[in-house]
């Protein structure tokens, strides 16, 4: 048995970029920044995480999310090959494929789930 789940709370690094897949399904991607302080304030780690959402969730993210807002993202980790990658340079990146996004910077109770918005 295995389990693949990720939860992030952080700030958007950019406005979501809506794209339409060849199948006609909406897809949006955006960056979420998280930071973590350690025992001493001298040590501080900041990370950027790529988030992807599809369908109705993608449309809702595009309409409601803006750079700098605080969000909670839940989803699974997936590996992707960057678009335009050739056979000689296969650099995979890990993205969080969102199943739920909660907009903490707009309205704490505005929760959108992939199954039904």
Q: List residues bridging with 98 in a β-sheet.
A: 75
Closest by alpha carbon to 73, among 45, 31, 115?
31
In a domain, 1, yes or no: no
Looking up residue 14, the CATH number of its domain turns out to be: 2.40.50.140
pLDDT at 25: 93
pLDDT surpasses 50 at 30: yes
Cα 112 from Cα 61, distance rounded (Å): 9
Reading phi first (left if > 0) and then psi (alpha if -120 to 50, else beta), residue 61 is in alpha
Range of the domain at 54: 6-35+44-113
pLDDT of 40 over the 80 cut: no
Q: Is residue 86's pLDDT more than 60? A: no
Q: Is 79 inside any structural domain?
A: yes
Per-residue pLDDT at 73 exceeds 70: yes
CA dist., res. 30 & res. 50, Å (int): 6
Q: Looking at the predicted structure, is the pLDDT value of residue 106 above 60?
A: no
Instruction: Decide: 16 and 71 in contact? Cβ < 8 Å.
Output: no
Q: Is residue 90 part of a domain?
A: yes
């Amino acid at each position: 048995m295995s389990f693949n789940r990720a939860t992030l709370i952080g700030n958007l690094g950019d406005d979501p970029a809506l794209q339409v897949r060849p199948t006609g399904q909406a897809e949006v991607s955006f960056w979420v920044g998280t930071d973590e302080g350690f025992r001493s304030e001298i040590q501080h780690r900041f990370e950027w995480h790529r988030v992807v959402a599809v369908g109705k969730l993608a449309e809702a993210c595009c309409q409601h999310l803006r750079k700098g807002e605080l969000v909670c993202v839940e989803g699974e980790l997936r590996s992707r090959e960057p678009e335009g990658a050739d056979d000689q340079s296969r650099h995979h990146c890990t993205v969080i494929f969102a199943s739920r996004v909660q907009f903490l910077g707009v309205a704490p109770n505005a929760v959108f789930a992939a199954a039904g918005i």
